[in-house]
Amino acid sequence: MNSSALKKKLDTRSNFSVIDIFEKAARKAGKILISDFGKIENFQIKSKEVGDFVTSVDLKVEKILLDTLQEFYPNASYITEESKEIKGDQETIVIDPIDGTSNFINGIPLIGIVIGRVYKGEVTDGIIFNPILDEFYWASKGAGAWCNNKKIKVSKNNTIQNCLIGTSVPHANRGYQNYLNEIDNIAKNCSGLRSTGSAAIDLAYVASGKTGAFWQRNLNLWDICAGIILVKEAGGKVTQPNGNQWQIDNSDILASNSYIHNQLVENINN
């Protein structure tokens, strides 16, 4: 069954599936990113704190996403990176207009528009759209994980030594106790470390088998919600870095192909 057939099978309201609605919003907003990418003179940049930026493009993209999604989900709750939470019913739509804003500012094409659906504490649907590379990742519970029209799966490497591992080196005031030890313990046991500058893209890479795992601390729900359902539906495993179950209010994450998960937990916490 191809991805289009699956999306039709998952119709939840009118003639549109959850993913269809998310894709409609993301592709509409993505036109703004394509138009402004590499043209730093076209937008304003503000610093929220050291190393954390918001641009006028973030705000324009978020408005387009909200306006489009609220046509289909007028009663939902909304959690977005740049706006105040909108209280609604138990169905929550989570939005990151540009995950990887620093990449966008500097002309690095590793960015993602992220939209996730959370219901009763569980991520059920999510998309990560990189309009610059035209990569549309999506997953719905029970429907597998996809990039454009190709089904994706986690890698089958069963040792850390054979895997690239994703993470992020904390900058500014984001350091935490023992982070250098964590990085060292993994780096000396794997094929190499990779950091894309976007947690959403890092998780998409785990789901598509490019990397064997990704871990990071002090993240927000909008950074990781779509990536979590992607990894799970691609056959991977998601927990906290200490191996405990990941829950919706946890900010620390370890996502892997499942085969190397216990090895990672041991090395991170050594």
- Every domain of the chain and the residues it spans: 3-152, 160-268
The per-residue pLDDT of the chain, averaged, comes to 89
Residue 53 has pLDDT above 70, yes or no: no
For the stretch 162-211, pLDDT in tens is 999 999 887 666 656 788 899 999 999 999 999 999 999 999 999 999 99
pLDDT at 1: 46
For helices 56-72 and 18-36, give the axis angle rounded to 10 degrees: 160
Our CA angle for 127, 85, 237, nearest 5°, is 40
Which among 163, 101, 98, 138 is positioned nearest to 3, based on CA atoms?
A: 138
pLDDT at 125: 97
160-268 CATH pick, 3.40.190.80, 3.40.50.300, 3.10.129.10, 3.40.190.10 = 3.40.190.80
Bigger pLDDT: 181 vs 231: 231
Residue 7 has pLDDT above 70, yes or no: no
pLDDT > 90: what percent of the chain? 74
Q: Averaged over 137-145, what is the pLDDT?
A: 97
Distance of CA 270 to the CA centre of its chain: 27
Lowest mean pLDDT among 80-84, 107-111, 249-253: 80-84
pLDDT at 50: 44
CA torsion, points 165, 197, 125, 77, in degrees to nearest 10? 140
Residue 22 has pLDDT above 90, yes or no: yes
Q: Averaged over 101-126, what is the pLDDT?
A: 94
Residue 138: count other Cβ atoms within 10 Å of its Cβ: 31
| Distance in angstroms (rounded) separating the CA atoms of residues 138 and 23 | 9
3-152 CATH pick, 3.90.1200.10, 3.40.50.11030, 3.30.540.10, 3.40.710.10 = 3.30.540.10
pLDDT at 85: 87
Residue 108 has pLDDT above 80, yes or no: yes
160-268 matches 3-152 in CATH topology:
no
